[in-house]
């Protein structure tokens, strides 16, 4: 006699597990992210042709592999599965209007995995094909995005904010990964935060978002408790993704950081590089753990 098939295992996402761990309640600032199906991209009238006049720059896939990151076109991995789950929840939380999404990736402290998560998530989203992903390097003190991807440095967001004659679109670096472009941080000044908080910044970022109907922007930001630029940027985005290293980030620091991001209504947590499994699995091994169980 055939035995009944085992019940399907429930896969808590990283976001859900983070919410469970920190006890934040949906509706009071943090929410676990919906599990609703991803809605189709907004039906919009005429697709504006992408501007990039410049040739796509190659992404350094060897470097990505060496750093343990997603490799475009690579085999399905544990990490890829994790970022698929995160991606689904971000897309599901896009809002009823289906307006394009802009996401600020930040953390309370340095070195918690913002760039790691922002780059991997961008690669995962670009693979969707429905979106034109624009990864913005908004960590002006430590702009690691171009180096992580093996792209050249160049003018970027701060240059266009400081100088109206700089065309922001022309600073965008198209890459040889379909649907992925990068906007460098640009040249620092003493007034980065003021520039970001300005009306001009809002107008520029709105224009950037609307330049392509399917553009989806991810900002890799500075640590919230170390620089004021992240909280200024939070005013401009639809969602904040707060990277948490539970082995390092104290709960009071996390709450303080979230309070500084009150310019954005939707703050979600992404638990990174921690072991929540009795056998010591870390972020990136969840899929494996499911298979072994
Ligand atoms: N889940 C992970 N698995 C493996 N390595 C990771 C993971 N998360 C982060 N790292 C590694 O930890 C280091 C710090 O990560 P990352 O540079 O992304 O942090 P950050 O928050 O952007 O730091 P900073 O505030 O200095 O910009 C990097 O070497 C990165 O590759
Ligand atoms: Mg970084």
Mean pLDDT across the chain? 79
pTM: 0.80
- Exposure of 82 by Cβ count < 10 A (0-12 exposed, 13-18 middle, 19+ buried)? buried
Q: Which CATH class is domain 50-292?
A: alpha beta
Q: Cα 244 vs. chain centroid, distance in angstroms?
A: 13
Q: What is the pLDDT of residue 24?
A: 45
Q: Which of 173, 199, 202, 176 is nearest to 185 (CA)?
A: 173
- Exposure of 282 by Cβ count < 10 A (0-12 exposed, 13-18 middle, 19+ buried)? middle
Of ligand 1's listed atoms, the one at least distance from the Cα of 112 is: 21
Helix 78-92 crosses helix 114-126 at what angle (to 10 degrees)?
A: 80
172 CA to middle of ligand 1, Å?
24
> Where are the chain's structural domains?
50-292
State the pairing for strand pair 102-107/267-271. unpaired
Ligand in closest contact with the CA of 144: 2
Q: What is the pLDDT of residue 287?
A: 34
* Per-residue pLDDT reduced to its tens digit, 61-98: 999 999 999 999 888 888 999 999 999 988 887 655 55
Contact 181, 135 (CB under 8 A): yes
Q: Give the containing element (helix H, strand E) for 14.
A: helix 14-22
Residues with CB under 6 A from ligand 1: 67-68, 107, 110-116, 139, 142, 144, 223, 272-273, 283-284
């Amino acid at each position: 006699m055939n035995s009944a098939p085992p019940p399907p295992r429930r896969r808590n996402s990283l976001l859900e597990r983070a919410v469970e761990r920190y006890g934040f309640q949906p509706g009071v600032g943090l929410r676990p992210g919906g599990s609703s199906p991803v809605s189709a991209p907004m039906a919009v009238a005429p697709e504006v042709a992408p501007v990039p006049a410049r040739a796509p720059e190659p992404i350094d896939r060897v470097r990505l592999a060496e750093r343990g990151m997603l490799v475009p076109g690579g085999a399905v991995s544990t990490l890829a599965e994790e970022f698929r789950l995160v991606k689904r929840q971000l897309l599901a939380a896009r809002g009823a209007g289906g307006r394009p999404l802009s996401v600020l990736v930040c953390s309370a402290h340095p070195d918690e995995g913002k760039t790691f998560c922002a780059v991997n998530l961008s690669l995962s989203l670009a693979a969707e094909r429905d979106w034109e992903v624009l990864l913005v390097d908004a960590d002006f003190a430590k702009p690691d995005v171009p180096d992580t991807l093996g792209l050249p440095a160049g003018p970027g967001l701060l240059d266009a904010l400081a100088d109206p004659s700089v065309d922001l679109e022309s600073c965008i670096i198209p890459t040889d990964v379909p649907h992925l472009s990068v906007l460098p941080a640009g040249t620092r000044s003493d007034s980065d935060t003021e520039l970001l908080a300005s009306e001009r910044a809002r107008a520029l970022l709105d224009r950037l978002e609307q330049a392509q109907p399917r553009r989806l922007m991810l900002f890799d930001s500075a640590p919230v408790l170390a620089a004021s630029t992240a909280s200024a940027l939070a005013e401009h985005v639809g969602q904040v993704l707060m990277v948490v290293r539970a082995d390092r980030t104290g709960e009071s620091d996390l709450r303080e950081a979230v309070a500084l991001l009150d310019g954005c209504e939707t703050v979600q947590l992404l638990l990174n590089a921690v072991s929540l499994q009795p056998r010591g699995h870390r972020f990136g091994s969840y899929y494996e753990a499911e298979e072994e169980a």
